[in-house]
Amino acid sequence: MNGQDMVNHFQHLKHEKHEIKTSVHESRCPYCSVQCTMNVHIEKEQHHQAKYIIEGNKADPVTEGRLCVKGLTAHQPAIDERRVKKPLVRLENGLEPIEWGHAYTEIAAKIKMIQQKYGDDAMGCYGSGALTNEKTYLFGKFARLALHTPFIDYNGRYCMSAAAAGSIQAFGVDRGMPFPLEDVPFADVIILAGTNLAECQPTIMQYFRKMKQNGGKIIVIDPRETATCSLADMHLQVRPGYDAALVNGMLKVLLNEGYMNREFVEQRTIGFEELKQHLEHVSLREVEQLTNVSLEQIRAAARLFGGASNAMVLTARGVEQHASGVQNVRNFINLVLLTGKIGRQGSGYGAITGQANGQGGREHGQKADQLPGYRLIENPEHRAHVANVWGVDPTYLPGKGVSAYELFEKIDRGEIKGLIVLASNPVVSSPNSHLIERALRKLELLVCIDLYENETSEAAHYLLPGSSHMEDTGTMTQLEGRVVLRRAMKKLPGKAKMDGTILCELAEHLGAGKWFQYTSNEEVFNELRRATAGGIADYAGISYERLEKGEALFWPCPSEDHPGTPRLFETSFWHADGKARFGVVEHQSPKENREMRYPYLLTTGRVLQHYNAGVLTRMSSELNARVPEPLLEIHPDAASEIGLLNGGYANVQSRRGSIVLKVKLSKKIRSDTVFVGFHWGSEKCINRLTNPMLDPTCRMPEFKACAVRITPAKGVR
């Protein structure tokens, strides 16, 4: 697994008396789903620390050299001195260094003891959309073969699961954006619903600007006037949790005013009659009241969308992270199906993936119900295919496990006794995080494989130092469904190991080594290709060699002479009959409505400068200096009612917990809603408040709406 071979070229510069060696390496940003390519310049002067300078890589066909503020500092989490560089074991005084050999022996012994005492199912695994496809694949295989447990899930459950389930129901396949970004400038109208591109995928803003230069119009649906609203011709400032109601209103207008594409609906869809009957009962007045968006705006938005020759709908977590997330997604898909705006350049529905490998992370087997290639673990044919590639009898493969939050509930109930967490910080990122903290402390074995100590490793018995984006070669599948290769460019620090190596060596100690014999990540990938061949996410034709040549390969790509598939649905959807499904979506309110005791709705999300559970970006002094703590964004009207001042502190309380936050007055948010970023832990962890009600289908929690009470925090500075 040693792939530190990505040195593009070396220059030696004579600089007065000192020699400065400069090397330039290509890498990719570890953060979001755009996966911007970057050139990392390393300047090394004798006896001085190496200096890293990052610049965009103009050869990147998606970003053309653009990077956001996080990308420009992306080396910091890889080189920071605070990285864990030795395996650590928890002893009386906290985490202490231990030799790798001893760590493996002890962990393996503990796992065997747990499994002998409580059964194989007493072990669990928790993964991440930050992992390469290779690591995702290995982790899924590790859980099923080395631990022989059904219990594996990952942080993508909190991220893409509603969009994934909605797309599978409607189209028979889930590829976040089923078309390339290149298509964006060809749209006449785009609805951006619950997506804050300007802060979350800043380097793709260019496509939308181009679309506007071409005369296109953008409708933003968001309870806040975000930076993305700088693109908006129309902003529907919906009440959090009422997107489905809003879309019902738009669908009714589209149908009543003749914007339906009858030919498309008849030839390419199923379920229109049910939708039509359902819309007859929708009252536009009621929609107006529920959403707090005016009827004029709803009509105007529907007409703009319906009248366009080409139009797109893009959603992200704002509409998806609800206990009704799947239904919300289905309704947004109804918009493109009813009007036939899908399957051609400039039209379609897409969900914007979030994590670096948000797409690949959900395709290759770390989801509870899934095997590589988007195969299903409960489907006999799918099991047989993967078992064959792995060289096991299909009956040896466990069945399906449970979703992320339910995994922690199982731990809390004492049903799972040992857990391996790879590249995630669930104590900060899970809803109702008190439960997670409590549950993890009940474990007989918690192993974290990470770059840093984090809030989750506070309960770890072992913390094993893994590999960062700069040290590990592997592929990622970015937001368009394009597979990209990222080469290692620096050595691992101290005694850290490749994440994949750790899994393989641990498997060896568990007596499962025969299934984990690889000499490189490329070899893992080649096995992944075989495991996905003939599946939905078919990578069989994608090779390191083709990626290295710069080929733009979007899955499915079933053979080495196949060009890949940038745009799906041109002639057919992926259900057996080739047709897409309408969904009948009854609007639902947030599971917790505002009431006397909890009169405000809290919604949560991101700020530009920080990333997810914050571990990496909190390491960057630049980013931390810009935004050192979470802020309670609140409208001045609400603040004056409560008695809050800008820069003062407020106590924010839900039925599950309370925290104290600094107040930021903003006229850009609805006065019944407050917004807080989720990038901080402990006393600043907003997930201590959020609602763990889960979507009945995809098990997504309700991160984006819970009822809170807000009071001035006395005596806090």
Ligand X SMILES: Nc1nc2c(c(=O)[nH]1)N[C@H]1C(S)=C(S)[C@@H](COP(=O)(O)OP(=O)(O)OC[C@H]3O[C@@H](n4cnc5c(=O)[nH]c(N)nc54)[C@H](O)[C@@H]3O)O[C@H]1N2
- Interaction between residue 478 and ligand X (CB under 6 A): no
Q: How far is residue 44 from each of residues 28, 81, 123, measured CA to CA in Å?
A: 21, 17, 45
- Interaction between residue 139 and ligand X (CB under 6 A): no
Least Cα distance to 349 among 605, 173, 588 occurs for: 173
Q: Which of ligand SF4, Mo ion, ligand X, none does 133 bind, CB closer than 5 to 8 A by kind?
A: none
Closest CB 359 distance from Mo ion, rounded Å: 11
Task: For 504-535, give one letter per residue: b (16+ CB within 10 A) or e.
Answer: bbbbbbbebeebbebeebbebbbbbbbbbbeb
Residue nearest ligand X (C-beta atom):
354
- Residue of 172, 185, 241, 558 interacting with ligand X (CB under 6 A): 241
Cα–Cα–Cα angle for 89, 93, 97, nearest 5°?
30
- Interaction between residue 196 and ligand SF4 (CB under 6 A): no
Contact 663/695 with Cβ under 8 angstroms?
Answer: no
User: H helices of 231-379, where?
Assistant: 243-256, 262-268, 272-280, 284-291, 295-307, 317-320, 325-338
Measured CA to CA, the distance from residue 37 to residue 83 in angstroms comes to 24
Q: Which of ligand X, ligand SF4, Mo ion, none does 35 bind, CB closer than 5 to 8 A by kind?
A: ligand SF4
For the segment 430-449, give every residue that binds ligand X (CB under 6 A): 449
Least Cα distance to 319 among 407, 229, 220 occurs for: 220
- Interaction between residue 613 and ligand X (CB under 6 A): yes
- Interaction between residue 703 and ligand X (CB under 6 A): yes
- Interaction between residue 29 and ligand SF4 (CB under 6 A): yes
Least Cα distance to 422 among 107, 29, 136 occurs for: 136
Closest CB 202 distance from ligand SF4, rounded Å: 5
Closest CB 196 distance from ligand X, rounded Å: 4
Closest CB 78 distance from ligand SF4, rounded Å: 13
Closest CB 153 distance from ligand X, rounded Å: 12
Closest CB 33 distance from ligand SF4, rounded Å: 7
- Interaction between residue 690 and ligand X (CB under 6 A): yes
Contact 24/490 with Cβ under 8 angstroms?
Answer: no
User: Nearer Cβ to ligand SF4, position 36 or 619?
Assistant: 36
Task: For 571-609, give one letter per residue: b (16+ CB within 10 A) or e.
Answer: eebbbeeebbbbbbbebeebbbebeeebebbbbbbbbbb
Measured CA to CA, the distance from residue 173 to residue 351 in angstroms comes to 12
- Interaction between residue 604 and ligand X (CB under 6 A): yes
Stretch that binds ligand X, among 128-136, 335-343, 579-587, 656-664 (CB under 6 A): 128-136
Q: Which of Mo ion, ligand SF4, ligand X, none does 639 bind, CB closer than 5 to 8 A by kind?
A: none
- Interaction between residue 618 and ligand SF4 (CB under 6 A): no
For the segment 55-114, give every residue that binds ligand SF4 (CB under 6 A): 67-68, 70-71
- Interaction between residue 383 and ligand SF4 (CB under 6 A): no
Q: Which of ligand SF4, ligand X, Mo ion, none does 67 bind, CB closer than 5 to 8 A by kind?
A: ligand SF4
User: Nearer Cβ to ligand SF4, position 340 or 614?
Assistant: 614
# residues near ligand SF4 by CB under 6 A = 13
- Residue of 27, 76, 128, 136 interacting with ligand X (CB under 6 A): 128
Least Cα distance to 207 among 172, 241, 231 occurs for: 231
Least Cα distance to 594 among 467, 469, 705 occurs for: 705
Least Cα distance to 506 among 89, 104, 101 occurs for: 104
Pairing type for strands 418-422 and 123-127 reads parallel
Contact 634/601 with Cβ under 8 angstroms?
Answer: no
User: Nearer Cβ to ligand X, position 107 or 319?
Assistant: 319
Q: Which of ligand X, ligand SF4, Mo ion, none does 203 bind, CB closer than 5 to 8 A by kind?
A: ligand SF4
Contact 404/426 with Cβ under 8 angstroms?
Answer: yes
User: Nearer Cβ to ligand X, position 541 or 630?
Assistant: 630
Closest CB 185 distance from ligand SF4, rounded Å: 19
Measured CA to CA, the distance from residue 447 to residue 456 in angstroms comes to 10
- Interaction between residue 205 and ligand X (CB under 6 A): no
Q: What is residue 714's DSSP assignment? A: T
Query: How deeply is 299 buried, as exposed, middle or buried, from its count of CB atoms within 10 A (0-12, 13-18, 19+)?
Result: middle
Closest CB 191 distance from ligand SF4, rounded Å: 22
Q: How far is residue 315 from each of residues 193, 401, 483, 704, measured CA to CA in Å?
A: 5, 28, 21, 14
Closest CB 37 distance from ligand SF4, rounded Å: 9
3-state helix, strand, coil in the chain (%, to 5): 35, 20, 45
For the segment 207-226, give every residue that binds ligand X (CB under 6 A): 221-224, 226
The pair of three-digit structure tokens given for residue 78, joined into one six-digit string: 């890889």
* Helix (H/G/I), strand (E/B), else coil: 14: strand
Closest CB 644 distance from ligand X, rounded Å: 20
Residue nearest ligand SF4 (C-beta atom):
71
# residues near ligand X by CB under 6 A = 66
Least Cα distance to 156 among 417, 416, 426, 387 occurs for: 426
- Interaction between residue 423 and ligand X (CB under 6 A): yes
- Interaction between residue 37 and ligand X (CB under 6 A): no
Contact 346/310 with Cβ under 8 angstroms?
Answer: yes
Which residues contact ligand SF4 by CB under 6 A? Answer: 29, 31-32, 34-36, 67-68, 70-71, 201-203
Question: Using CB under 6 A as the criterion, which residues of the chain lie in contact with ligand X when the complex forms?
Answer: 30, 32, 128-130, 155, 158-159, 193-196, 199-201, 221-224, 226, 238, 240-241, 243, 316-319, 321, 354-355, 422-426, 428-429, 449-452, 454, 466-468, 499, 603-606, 608, 610-613, 615-616, 675, 678, 686-687, 690, 703-705
